[in-house]
């Protein structure tokens, strides 16, 4: 049945009914639901998208009759045979596989099926026990007389919530399970809200009953404080954080989600900087860089500086911020209970009684007037009036928080409200939200526009009689860089310029003047710009020709970011400063609806959505050779460069060929027989020494199967290694340049560990040979942990160590009266006790690092040729190389300048080269320490 569903969805990709990505997602969902229907327990990995992606390749091979990317399985070949030779039986099998679920018996069964899609089987079991606990207590106390899962009445549910949250006896008896019980109630309330949502039918203006239903639903959650449940992260749109604590320590300055994210991150970075990924995404499935060095700073949309050379991406929604925090907790191995975040909702400010309704509404004259107009002029029921005002509130906040160029609905300016409405209903997310709310927002905004028309008729009449060209002339001449709206100073300047030009003040009040000004051009970020002078004719024609040429050549979308980057040089000296401003300009110029404007791109047709992944893949397949970044950026110029980089970095089928080149796995030529031959080479290498390096593998292929190299001559050695790794990833483990048994995941570090443990002695030259084979640096940390360095060139087994720690430390004491001494300053070893080998700096370095009871080694790293760093007393407060450098610089009398300080650190033997990251920051710290000591 599973293979029948997989084949059917694959066939839909061939006739264009589904994209391949949609088919994979749909198949995964169907197979997971089928397993649940049959009573199987499944986890997150079961038939997930990654697994189905590979199975789809196998089914494709079965259908085509030859291997494309993954060989066909026996089952899939049998399914294809059934499809071709007994179509009726195949369709019956498919029908059986997709049979409808049995009818739900009651609310409880409906809820549990709903819950299965939200939580893991283990969580489902825990939550079910929580409902049993709630039932036993609430029935005993006569709060309810049946299971909570059979109750849908909102008043009874509120009573149960009150018991769970406030009853002291209940909380004491169930204190250990209280978090799970709270989570259980949240899930059930969420389910009831979904159920209520689905029962609401028709638009708000069709029946008062539908409006009252939504109104009651909204008021149920009024003025509540919520706590983040990292196991079930809800939509956090229109919410505001009000409290956060990290290991019971309150986090300050969290008035917005962005502030909270930065401050929480700083706490985590302070404690776990070594675990947090750098120059990549926190989520391997999403390639956008979350945390980076200054080198990649420019790729970020809204970077926030964390330390001297570290930046955090903050261009995230509230919901995405909490998801990122959840990822960080997992990365740092922190239990979620140690980070508490509470928030409140910024919308749904409602009450039931009419006397107080206006006090709880958004404070604006327009909203109050709109409410009165609905009630008195339109003769609507009070709950309906309230619901309409609420819907406009939500829509206006959505436009503001999503950065629309027009984001005001409650205004006397009809054009501004209409522009905001147009942007809202061109936004796909909002349109979907409106459909889910049964066109609630569309009906409310339509009424609002009628209200504004009636309210502003006289103003419009006055403004329409004005010649706007006179306004434009002044704006073009005196405000070429934009007119700042809402500024009384700017208005006074405008009136003064008018008086200078026409020897009289404008014959209109201020409200009419501002309205006329707004009708003259484009409003962006509270400034008005005249489109005629935003770009000169040549640049404007060049821009729109480029857009039309791209659409004519088959491109379906063009990203604003890519478009701005393409014309950034042309825009110099003009008033288009960023991609958002370009978006506003294109919206204004799109009077003939020549294209559709989305939040991030323009498209030829409405509703078009193409993943950059698909375009990058098609491009590389069509070109059939490795392409450099610059070549891809040029071909796909309508996509931002960083999006292309992210796609290449986060999808295994795109293989690096080195030198910033990539190719798609489908263009290589490797038959099943050739892969078997390569697999034999790898297997023999692993049997011989537990692993084989990528370099060794390529050398074997060159000698034994040179035709493989010849038929893939366009690939570098790195590219061929990457392609082999992709093809044989189900059979072997590929980690860096190391190939080992599947599941062993042998790393470079582990290779060096094995090398040391298997030898009684070895030399530095042997380590260098291994280093060359693996194309890596020597992992000295692993070498020192598993062998003993007795001289510059010689290493022996650790069992040969014969140190006398107490006597050796006493010998070091004679050289180190203070907290530390550069390791190179100890060059006379006559007073050191016998250690089995002749004392030297390398043996001393190893002793201090691994054996000394009273001293520790502080250094940047072990070195092939010299010993650098310091021998530091364990009783000192110096615990890192940064601490050491700050102390050294603070205690010498040299000027605290970068070049002189680095020279001194090298000459004294603390550093091996005149370079150290973050040295500027450490110089500041050293100066502070000097001031404290009065040096």
Neighbours of 622 (CB within 10 A): 10
Q: Per-residue confidence at 762, pLDDT binned at 50, 70, 90?
A: very high
Assess whether pLDDT exceeds 80 at residue 210.
no
Average pLDDT for residues 698-704, to the nearest whole number?
84
Secondary structure class of 652 (helix, strand, coil): coil
Instruction: Give the pLDDT confidence score for residue 811 in this predicted structure.
Output: 93
Q: Per-residue confidence at 356, pLDDT binned at 50, 70, 90?
A: very low
Contact 34, 2 (CB under 8 A): yes
Instruction: Give the pLDDT confidence score for residue 607 in this predicted structure.
Output: 53
Q: Per-residue confidence at 259, pLDDT binned at 50, 70, 90?
A: confident
Assess whether pLDDT exceeds 70 at residue 285.
no
What is the residue whose two structure tokens read 């494309």? 68
Which residues, other chains included, contact 645 with Cβ-Cβ below 8 Å and sequence gap of 6+?
Answer: 287, 299, 629
Instruction: Give the pLDDT confidence score for residue 912 in this predicted structure.
Output: 87
Q: Strands 303-307 and 522-524: what pairing?
A: unpaired
121-159 pLDDT per residue, tens: 777 878 888 888 898 888 887 778 888 888 877 657 877
Instruction: Give the pLDDT confidence score for residue 355 in this predicted structure.
Output: 37
Average pLDDT for residues 450-463, to the nearest whole number?
58
Instruction: Give the pLDDT confidence score for residue 461 in this predicted structure.
Output: 47
Q: Per-residue confidence at 666, pLDDT binned at 50, 70, 90?
A: confident
Contact 525, 403 (CB under 8 A): no
Instruction: Give the pLDDT confidence score for residue 247 in this predicted structure.
Output: 80
Cα distances (angstroms) measured from residue 857 to each of 424, 844, 887: 62, 10, 15
Phi-psi region of 660 (alpha: psi -120 to 50; beta: other; left: phi over 0): left
Instruction: Give the pLDDT confidence score for residue 365 in this predicted structure.
Output: 59
Ranges 101-115, 480-494, 676-690, 805-819: which has the least confidence: 101-115
Which residues, other chains included, contact 356 with Cβ-Cβ below 8 Å and sequence gap of 6+?
Answer: none
Assess whether pLDDT exceeds 60 at residue 204.
no
Backbone φ, ψ for residue 658 (5° rounding): 85, 165
Ranges 356-360, 426-430, 488-492, 892-896: which has the least confidence: 356-360
Contact 235, 319 (CB under 8 A): yes
Backbone φ, ψ for residue 726 (5° rounding): -65, -45
Instruction: Give the pLDDT confidence score for residue 448 in this predicted structure.
Output: 87
Got the DSSP string for 339-402? Answer: EEEEEEESS----SSHHHHHHHS-S-HHHHHHHHIIIIIS---HHHHHHHHHHHHHHHHHHHHT
Contact 701, 728 (CB under 8 A): no
Q: Per-residue confidence at 222, pLDDT binned at 50, 70, 90?
A: very low
Contact 41, 642 (CB under 8 A): no
How many angstroms separate the CA atoms of 872 and 856, rounded?
5
Instruction: Give the pLDDT confidence score for residue 205 in this predicted structure.
Output: 36
Query: Whats the size of the chain, residue-wise?
Result: 935
Per-range mean pLDDT, top range of 101-110, 523-532, 921-930: 921-930
Cα distances (angstroms) measured from residue 283 to each of 276, 287, 321, 330, 860: 11, 7, 12, 11, 30
702-738 pLDDT per residue, tens: 888 888 888 888 888 888 888 888 888 888 878 777 7
In this prediction, what percent of the chain has a pLDDT beyond 90? 10
Cα distances (angstroms) measured from residue 375 to each of 336, 381, 387: 49, 7, 12
* Residue 107, Cβ density class (10 Å: 0-12 exposed, 13-18 middle, ≥19 buried): middle
Instruction: Give the pLDDT confidence score for residue 460 in this predicted structure.
Output: 46
Assess whether pLDDT exceeds 50 at residue 456.
no
Assess whether pLDDT exceeds 60 at residue 77.
yes
How many angstroms separate the CA atoms of 370 and 453, rounded?
12
588-598 pLDDT per residue, tens: 887 666 777 77
Assess whether pLDDT exceeds 70 at residue 458.
no
Assess whether pLDDT exceeds 60 at residue 357.
no
Contact 694, 737 (CB under 8 A): yes
How many angstroms separate the CA atoms of 198 and 187, rounded?
17
Secondary structure class of 766 (helix, strand, coil): helix
Got the DSSP string for 561-621? Answer: HHHHHHTTTTTTTSS--SHHHHHHHHHHH-TT--SEE-SSEEESSTT----HHHHHHHHHH
How many angstroms separate the CA atoms of 269 and 265, rounded?
6
833-869 pLDDT per residue, tens: 988 899 999 999 999 999 999 999 999 888 888 899 9
Instruction: Give the pLDDT confidence score for residue 878 in this predicted structure.
Output: 92
Backbone φ, ψ for residue 101 (5° rounding): -65, 150
Of 289, 283, 313, 287, give the one whose Cα is nearest residue 649.
Answer: 287
Cα distances (angstroms) measured from residue 2 to each of 6, 35, 96, 141: 6, 10, 11, 49
Instruction: Give the pLDDT confidence score for residue 292 in this predicted structure.
Output: 87
Higher pLDDT, 70 or 927: 927
409-429 pLDDT per residue, tens: 888 777 788 888 888 887 777
240-254 pLDDT per residue, tens: 888 888 887 788 778
Per-range mean pLDDT, top range of 101-115, 441-455, 843-857: 843-857
Q: Which residues pair with 476 in a beta bridge?
A: none
């Amino acid at each position: 049945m599973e293979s029948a569903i997989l084949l059917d969805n694959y066939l839909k990709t061939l006739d264009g009914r589904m994209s391949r990505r949609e088919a994979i997602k749909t198949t995964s969902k169907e197979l997971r639901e089928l397993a649940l229907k049959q009573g199987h327990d499944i986890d997150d990995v079961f038939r997930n998208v990654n697994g189905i992606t590979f199975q789809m390749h196998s089914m494709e091979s079965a259908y085509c009759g030859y291997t494309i990317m993954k060989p066909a399985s026996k089952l899939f070949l049998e399914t294809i045979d059934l499809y071709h030779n007994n179509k009726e039986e195949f369709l019956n099998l498919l029908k059986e596989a997709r049979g409808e679920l049995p009818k739900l018996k009651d609310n409880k069964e409906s809820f549990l099926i709903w819950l299965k899609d939200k939580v893991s089987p283990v969580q489902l079991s825990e939550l079910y026990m929580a409902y049993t606990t709630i039932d036993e207590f609430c029935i005993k106390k006569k709060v309810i007389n049946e299971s909570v899962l059979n109750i849908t009445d909102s008043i009874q549910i509120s009573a149960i919530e009150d018991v769970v949250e406030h009853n002291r006896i209940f909380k004491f008896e169930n204190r250990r399970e209280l978090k799970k019980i709270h989570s259980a109630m949240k899930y059930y309330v969420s389910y009831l809200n979904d159920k209520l949502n689905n029962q609401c039918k028709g638009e708000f203006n069709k029946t008062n009953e539908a409006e009252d239903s939504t109104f009651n639903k909204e008021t149920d959650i009024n003025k509540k404080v919520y706590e983040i449940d990292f196991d079930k992260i809800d939509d956090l749109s229109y919410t505001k954080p009000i409290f956060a604590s990290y290991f019971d320590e309150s986090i300050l300055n969290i008035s917005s989600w962005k502030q909270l994210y930065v401050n929480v991150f700083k706490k985590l970075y302070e404690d776990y900087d070594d675990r947090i990924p750098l120059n990549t995404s926190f989520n391997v499935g999403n390639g956008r860089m979350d945390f980076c060095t200054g080198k990649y700073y420019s790729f970020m949309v809204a970077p926030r500086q964390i330390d001297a050379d570290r930046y955090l991406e903050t261009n995230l929604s509230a919901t995405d911020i909490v998801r990122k925090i959840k990822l960080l907790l997992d990365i740092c191995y922190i239990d979620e209970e140690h980070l508490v975040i509470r928030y409140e909702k910024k919308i749904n400010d409602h009450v039931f009684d009419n006397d107080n309704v206006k006090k709880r509404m958004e404070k604006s004259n327009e909203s109050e007037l709109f409410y009165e107009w609905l009630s008195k002029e339109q003769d609507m029921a009070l709950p309906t009036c309230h619901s309409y005002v609420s819907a406009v509130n939500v829509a206006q906040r959505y436009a503001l928080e999503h950065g629309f160029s027009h984001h005001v609905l409650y205004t006397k300016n009809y054009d501004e409200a209409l522009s905001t409405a147009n942007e809202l209903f061109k936004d796909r997310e909002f349109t979907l939200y409106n459909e889910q709310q049964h066109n609630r927002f569309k009906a409310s905004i339509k009424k609002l526009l009628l209200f504004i028309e009636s309210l502003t008729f006289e103003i419009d009449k006055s403004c329409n009689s004005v010649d706007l060209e006179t306004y434009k002339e002044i704006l073009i001449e005196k405000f070429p860089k934009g007119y700042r709206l809402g500024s009384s100073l700017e208005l006074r300047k405008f009136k003064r310029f008018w008086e200078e030009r026409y020897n009289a003040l404008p014959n209109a009040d201020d409200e009419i003047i501002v309205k006329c000004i707004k009708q003259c051009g484009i409003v962006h970020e509270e400034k008005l710009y005249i489109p005629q002078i935003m770009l000169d004719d040549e640049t404007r024609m060049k821009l729109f020709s480029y857009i039309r040429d791209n659409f004519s050549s088959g491109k379906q979308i063009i990203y604003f970011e890519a478009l701005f980057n393409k014309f950034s040089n042309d825009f110099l000296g003009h008033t288009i400063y960023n991609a958002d401003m370009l978006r506003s300009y294109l919206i204004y110029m799109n009077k003939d609806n020549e294209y559709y404007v989305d939040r991030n791109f323009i498209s030829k047709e409405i509703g078009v959505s193409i993943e950059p992944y698909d375009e990058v893949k098609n491009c590389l397949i069509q070109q059939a050779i490795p392409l450099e970044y610059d070549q891809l950026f040029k071909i796909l110029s309508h996509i931002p460069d960083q999006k292309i980089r992210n796609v290449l970095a986060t999808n295994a089928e795109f293989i690096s060929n080195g030198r910033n080149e990539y190719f798609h796995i489908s263009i290589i030529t490797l038959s099943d027989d050739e892969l078997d031959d390569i697999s034999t080479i790898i297997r023999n290498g692993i049997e011989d020494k537990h692993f084989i390096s990528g370099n060794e593998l390529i050398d074997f292929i060159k000698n034994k199967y040179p035709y493989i190299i010849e038929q893939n001559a366009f690939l570098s050695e790195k590219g061929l290694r990457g392609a082999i790794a992709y093809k044989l990833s189900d059979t072997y483990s590929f980690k860096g340049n190391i190939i080992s048994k599947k599941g062993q995941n042998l790393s470079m570090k582990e290779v060096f560990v094995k090398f040391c443990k298997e030898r009684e002695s070895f030399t530095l030259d042997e380590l260098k040979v291994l280093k060359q084979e693996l194309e890596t640096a020597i992992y000295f940390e692993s070498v020192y942990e598993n062998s003993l360095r007795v001289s510059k060139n010689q290493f022996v087994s650790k069992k040969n160590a014969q140190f006398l720690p107490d006597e050796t430390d006493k010998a070091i004491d004679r050289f180190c009266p203070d907290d530390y001494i550069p390791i190179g300053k100890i060059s006379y070893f006559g007073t050191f006790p016998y250690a089995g080998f002749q004392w030297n700096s390398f043996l001393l370095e190893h002793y201090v690092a691994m054996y000394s009871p009273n001293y520790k080694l502080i250094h940047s790293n072990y070195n092939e040729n010299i010993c650098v760093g310091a021998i530091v007393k364990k009783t000192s407060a110096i615990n890192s190389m940064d601490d050491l450098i700050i102390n050294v610089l603070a205690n010498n009398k040299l000027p605290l300048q970068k070049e002189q300080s680095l020279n001194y650190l090298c000459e004294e033997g603390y550093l091996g080269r005149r370079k150290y990251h973050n040295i500027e920051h450490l110089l500041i710290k050293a100066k502070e320490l000097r001031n404290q000591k009065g040096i």
